[in-house]
Structure 1
Amino acid sequence: MATLFIPAQWRDLTQQQSAVEIDASNLREAITELDRQFPGIHTRLFEQETVRPSIQISVDGSLNSRNLRTPLRADSEVHFLPAIGGG
């Protein structure tokens, strides 16, 4: 199963879990399943059905925030990288 790493800002939705294993063949399926298990993830990740501009997604070390058809392997790692604000 692919491992999805949850940013600290979203862990209020995942009972403080920092990572979740999901059985999915692509990134979209993984996000759909993650939101099914932890409602509210979709709202934090998407804006009008596209990934929010302030969020990058890394799949197996490659930034890939716009291609939700990216295939996942059983050993894939997915990281959600929200922009960090401040000055």
Structure 2
Amino acid sequence: MPTVVLASGSAGQQLAGGQTEFEVEATNFRRLVIELNRRFPGLGTQVEETMAIAVDGEIFQDAYAVELKPGSEIYLIPKIGGG
């Protein structure tokens, strides 16, 4: 199963009950969002709206087509605003 790692101190970590790392059953980003919302209500939505995603060290702007493999590491990082 892929492993999700949440940035320390992020709002996502609060929604996950303080957890920073856990496994999920998902084969793509869309399934990941659904699973996160099921396990931690609001977290999947938070990820879609305010977080960047890195899968196995590669950062994606549009992660919906990204395949998640068993053993993948998924880092969820708050997006940085800029002007």
The 2-side partners of 1:13 and 1:23 are apart by 18
Aligned to 2:44: 42
Q: TM-score, normalised by structure 2?
A: 0.81
* Residue of structure 2 in register with 1:76 after alignment: 72
Alignment correspondent of 1:4: 4
Which consecutive unaligned segments of at least 5 residues does structure 1 have? none
What aligned pairs does 1:53-64 form with structure 2 within 5 A after superposition? 55-64=51-60
TM-score, normalised to structure 1, is 0.77
* Alignment coverage as a number of residue pairs: 79
Asked whether the equivalents of residues 5 and 78 of structure 1 are also in contact (C-alpha less than 8 Å), the reply is yes
CA distance, structure 2, for counterparts of residue 23 and residue 42 of structure 1? 14
Deviations 1:36-62 (A, max 9, x none): 100011332234xxxx4xx32100000
Unmatched 5+ residue regions in structure 2? none
CA contact (8 A) 1:25 1:72 kept: yes
Rg (Cα) greater in structure: 1
- For residues 16 and 58 of structure 2, the distance between their equivalents in structure 1, rounded to whole angstroms, comes to 24
Counterpart code for 2:37: D
Q: Which amino acid letter does the alignment assign opposite residue 66 of structure 1?
A: D
Structure that is richer in helix per residue: 2
Given that 1:58 and 1:65 are in contact with CA atoms closer than 8 Å, whether structure 2 keeps it comes out as no
Which residue identity does 2:53 align to in structure 1? I
